[in-house]
Structure 1
């Protein structure tokens, strides 16, 4: 069983296409491509984490439409970390969990998922990564906090190994030492 991460799918959201420069003709084209990409990698026994902004726009106010999109997602477990565009109806879908922030054990590491990039989090000093979305293609992240959004991962979900590889190539957050100074008591 593998664990997959993605963010900012924005199913049904026409305006996200020009906003983020997505290469799709319409929201329905985008929705189909995102679901097809998920099925290319996420196996029926896998776990899928949506790190915020599952769906948005007029379609996201239609529970039947949301259930139809949700029903096409691959994986045995599906989890939502709530983003700023995840309304009440999206949160009411039959997710295995819905949270604002969570810690996920993956490959022996406990990492923190939050839709919004954070400056520090539980376990950060011990190498825990923060996996976020929200910023679309504006920022890949830093050495210890990585954007899992579809806009920076070729519209595909990714594994922790993918995230760790990218993290090693990213710069150290320039504010890291402002909030995580080592003390003599450590």
Structure 2
């Protein structure tokens, strides 16, 4: 499986891209450094529960527990763990997570980007937004963000959640990403 993921990354990610790994990069110490070096582009790690201190020192362009990333007008909040609400959630920022593997696909504004659910291939912002539209509304949204609506057409148009651009996070050209464990 690791080899398939690396081959998919090598085939889809360019030197000038920024692939984001949303946690749990590796378990077997002997393959880590070679694996990171094989991934093209400026590699970024969102720390997951399996990412020990030595994994965080493997040559990443950045290492964070949580980060906001913009693609065009669309904001994404990346964190290994699912969250109930996050910065700019009311303004249409989509939360990307992976910790739960294939146990929960997410909701309309919080998408599981674990590679288990994406055929072990990198995905782009447009792919993620299209999948988000197929997911159910977060049934607790009004409990944590009273008065804010998410997942209706007016909200999506207002905050730019309808995205057909073939771009990846953080760049103006196609930029496939590996998001999730």
The alignment's TM-score, normalised by the length of structure 2, stands at 0.79
Give the aligned CA root-mean-square deviation in angstroms. 1.2
Task: Give the CA deviation at 1:40.
Answer: 2.1
Query: Take 1:116 and 1:174, find their aligned partners in 2: how far apart are those partners?
Result: 18
Aligned to 1:126: 91
Deviation string for 1:18-67 (max 9, x for gaps)?
A: xxxxxxxxxxxx221110011221122111000000001xx22x4xx321
Q: Is structure 2 residue 18 aligned with structure 1 residue 34?
A: no
Q: Which consecutive residues of structure 2, in runs of 5 or more, have no partner in the other structure?
A: 149-181
How many corresponding residue pairs? 148
Aligned to 1:11: none
1:47 alignment partner, SS class? coil
Aligned to 2:32: 66
Query: Take 2:32 and 2:136, find their aligned partners in 1: how far apart are those partners?
Result: 38
Q: Which consecutive residues of structure 1, in runs of 5 or more, have no partner in the other structure?
A: 1-29
1:80 alignment partner, SS class? strand
Task: Give the CA deviation at 1:152.
Answer: 0.3
- Larger C-alpha radius of gyration, 1 or 2? 1
Moved more, 122-131 or 101-110: 101-110
The alignment's TM-score, normalised by the length of structure 1, stands at 0.77
